[in-house]
Amino acid sequence: MESNLRPLTLGEILDRTAQLYRSHFLVFLGISVLPTGVILVLACVIGLVAAWWGAAGAHSVSTNTGYALVGLFFVGLALLALPILLAVTGVATAAMSHAVSCIYLGGTSTIRGAYKSVWRLGWRYIWLYLLRALIVWAAPSAVWVALAFLAAGATVLAQKGGMGASADTIFGSAALLVAIPLIGYGIWMLLRLSLAFPTAVVEQMGAWRAVKRSFPLSQGSKGRILLLYLLVGALGWILSMAVMLPLTIALFLIPGVNNPQHAQTAGVAMLLIVYGSSFAVQALIEPIYGIALVLFYYDQRIRKEGYDIELLMQQAGMVPAANPVPPAPEAAPWLAAVPHVVPAAAVEPPQAIAPPQSMQPTTEATGEPQ
Using CA atoms, how far apart are residues 252 and 94, in angstroms rounded to an integer?
42
pLDDT digits (tens, 9 = 90+) for 226-252: 999 999 999 988 998 888 888 888 777
324 or 66: whose pLDDT is higher?
A: 66
Q: What percent of the chain has pLDDT over 70?
A: 68
Question: If you average pLDDT over every residue of the chain, what do you get?
Answer: 77
266 with 251: CB under 8 angstroms? yes
Q: Which range is least confidently modeled, 19-23, 199-203, 230-234, 252-256?
A: 252-256
pLDDT higher than threshold 50 for residue 107: yes
193 with 225: CB under 8 angstroms? no
Using CA atoms, how far apart are residues 128 and 121, in angstroms rounded to an integer?
11
- What is the pLDDT averaged over residues 181-210? 93
pLDDT grade, residue 180 (50/70/90)?
confident
pLDDT grade, residue 166 (50/70/90)?
low
pTM of the predicted protein model: 0.75
260 or 358: whose pLDDT is higher?
A: 260
pLDDT higher than threshold 60 for residue 367: no
How far is residue 224 CA from its own chain's centroid?
19
Q: Which of 271, 289, 285, 287 is nearest to 40 (CA)?
A: 271
- What is the pLDDT averaged over residues 118-140? 92
Q: Which range is least confidently modeled, 133-142, 263-272, 282-291?
A: 263-272
- What is the pLDDT averaged over residues 116-138? 92
Using CA atoms, how far apart are residues 28 and 293, in angstroms rounded to an integer?
14
For residue 25, the model assigns a pLDDT of 95
Domain parsing of the chain, residue ranges: 2-307
pLDDT digits (tens, 9 = 90+) for 22-76: 999 999 999 999 888 887 777 777 766 666 666 555 555 555 566 666 677 777 7
For residue 17, the model assigns a pLDDT of 95
Q: Which range is least confidently modeled, 13-17, 55-59, 334-338?
A: 334-338
pLDDT grade, residue 158 (50/70/90)?
low
H-only helix segments in 253-262:
none
pLDDT higher than threshold 50 for residue 126: yes
- What is the pLDDT averaged over residues 326-335? 41
Using CA atoms, how far apart are residues 287 and 36, in angstroms rounded to an integer?
12
pLDDT grade, residue 2 (50/70/90)?
very low
pLDDT higher than threshold 80 for residue 318: no
Please tell me the number of Cα atoms within 13 Å of 155 on its side-chain side: 17
332 or 243: whose pLDDT is higher?
A: 243
175 or 364: whose pLDDT is higher?
A: 175
For residue 262, the model assigns a pLDDT of 63
For residue 330, the model assigns a pLDDT of 42
In this structure, how many other beta carbons lie within 10 angstroms of the beta carbon of residue 149? 10
Using CA atoms, how far apart are residues 58 and 145, in angstroms rounded to an integer?
32
- What is the pLDDT averaged over residues 92-113? 92
190, β-bridge pairs? none
**How close are the terminal C-alpha atoms of the chain, in Å?**
61
pLDDT grade, residue 353 (50/70/90)?
very low
- What is the pLDDT averaged over residues 93-99? 95
H-only helix segments in the chain:
10-23, 25-52, 58-60, 63-104, 111-119, 122-133, 139-160, 167-192, 196-202, 207-217, 222-252, 263-305, 307-315
pLDDT grade, residue 296 (50/70/90)?
very high
Using CA atoms, how far apart are residues 21 and 121, in angstroms rounded to an integer?
26
For residue 91, the model assigns a pLDDT of 94
Reduced to 3 states (helix: H, G, I; strand: E, B; else coil), residue 306 is coil
pLDDT grade, residue 332 (50/70/90)?
very low
- What is the pLDDT averaged over residues 262-281? 74
For residue 118, the model assigns a pLDDT of 93
